[in-house]
Structures are given as structure tokens and as C-alpha cells.
Amino acid sequence: MKVTLLILTYNEIEGMKQIMPQIDKSWYDELIIMDGGSKDGTIEYANENGYPIFVQQRPGLGSAYIEGLTRATGDVIITFSPDGNSDAARLPDLVAKMREGYDIVIVSRYLDWAKSDDDDIVTGFGNWLFTTMYNILFREKVTDLLVIYRAFRKDLVKELNVDHGAIAWTTQMMCKAAKARRRIGEVPGNEPPRIGGIRKMNPLRNGWAELTMLTREFFKRS
């Protein structure tokens, strides 16, 4: 099972400097960094340290996933944020869980002992709301729908025709996977505080995107 670590960046120089040295190269087979057009030295830092980095041709989080997948050669893709929110130490757990035959494995901030040190009242409630909606509509039992940190089979994206080019790309994949009765699992993982930079998530914009995707996929036949 070949593992591609797909790291998404946009002005994350402070986090990159602290987080990238924590990632053991034995935990993955291929590293790809997709950058949204950083101006803070993120691209230069990656080049100086020999990390393969590519600038997105189209804007949007979904486009970052899609363009990264076209370059990836791994059987399994792990999406990771270098802003401090993704705990690198959980990478071996994620790979081990995928080896059990799951199609998607989420690093949940709310499973068992895990917690989020980056949540506020709005983001915590939003994640609970959309996770609950997802579980009810698609008959699943996940605890963390919206976290970026997860692994999935690369082939799954083509099998399910996951093609959304914006924020709710992972939610589209989760909805389609549930309808196709694919195996979805979780491992616990803390979410440490963000390291520098600015949070890109806008509660109203993101919330509307998630709500729209959940309802659209629920009423869509396939």
C-alpha cells in the first residue's frame, strides 16, 4: 500500500517550520504540497528543504485536492494541514487503520480521548450540527465530518465521481461514500492550536457550503 501525504498550504510559513520536521519520512512513500499562492515564504521554504511543492492553477480547496490527486501516485492519500492543527504523530495510526480495509479514515477530534484546542463556540457547534445531519441523513456514525486530516483510497475519488471544486469537497466524498456503503472509520487525534497565520475558514460561507452539499447529495440519486 503506497501512501501519498498531500499537504495543503496557503501562507503557512510559521507552521511549516515547526511541523514539517515532526513528520518522519518512513510514515509515507510520497510527499506532495499543493499551495494556494503563498506570499509569506512558504514556497521558498519548501524549495529550500527539498519538499515537492506545486502552485494551484485554479483557486479553491476542492481544486487543491483535485490537482494534488492528479500528481499523486499513492494507493492511499492522506490530507494534512501544516498549520499546527494536524498532529503529525497520528500518521502511523491512520495508515494502520487504512490497512484494515477501510475506504476512508478520519482523524477525529471528538472520538474517545481526543479534543480540539482550536475550536471556539461557533466552530464547535457547526461541526456538531453538520456531523449530526450527516449521520442522520446518510445513516452513518462518524464523530467528525469536517476535519481535513484524513486518509482515503485514491481510486475512491474516481469511483464515486467526487468533482466538487470548492470548500465542501471532502463532504461530497463522505456523502457519496455513505450512499455507496463504503467503509468509513475513525481514529482519535487531538487538534492543537494553530501556529501563526490566519484562519481561512469563514463560518457563514463554510456553513452554507456544507449545508448545501449535504442536502444536495441527500436528494441526489447517485
Residue 222: the pLDDT is 64
Query: Residue 7 has which C-alpha cell?
Result: 499537504
Q: Are 186 and 135 in contact (CB under 8 A)?
A: no
Give the helix/strand (H/E) hosting 53.
strand 53-55
Contact, 95 vs 197, CB < 8 A?
A: no
Note whether 40 and 13 are within 8 A (CB).
yes
How far, in Å, CA of 160 to CA of 158, rounded? 5
Residue 47 dihedral angles phi and psi, to the nearest 5°: -65, -40
- The count of domains in the chain is 1
pLDDT > 90? residue 175: yes
Supply the DSSP string of 132-201, one letter for each residue.
HHHHHHHT---S-SS-S-EEEEHHHHHHHT----STTHHHHHHHHHHHTT--EEEEE--BPPP-SS----
> Which CATH number fits the domain that encloses residue 38?
3.90.550.10
> Is residue 201 over pLDDT 80?
no
pLDDT at res. 200: 67
Enter the DSSP assignment of 40.
S
- The count of C-alpha atoms lying within 13 angstroms of the C-alpha of 69, restricted to the half-sphere facing its C-beta, is 23
166 band by pLDDT with thresholds 50, 70 and 90: confident
Provide the pLDDT for residue 148: 93
Q: Mind listing the pLDDT tens digit for each residue in 60-99? A: 788 888 999 999 999 999 999 999 999 999 999 999 999 9
CA distance 53 to 37: 11
Judging by DSSP bridges, how do beta strands 150-153 and 104-108 pair with one another?
antiparallel
pLDDT digits (tens, 9 = 90+) for 17-68: 999 999 999 999 999 999 999 999 999 999 999 999 999 988 878 888 899 9
Task: Give the range of the structural domain holding residue 79, as residue numbers without chain letter.
Answer: 3-219
Specify the pLDDT at position 63.
Answer: 85
Cα→Cα distances 50→28, 43, 125, 212, Å:
15, 11, 40, 40
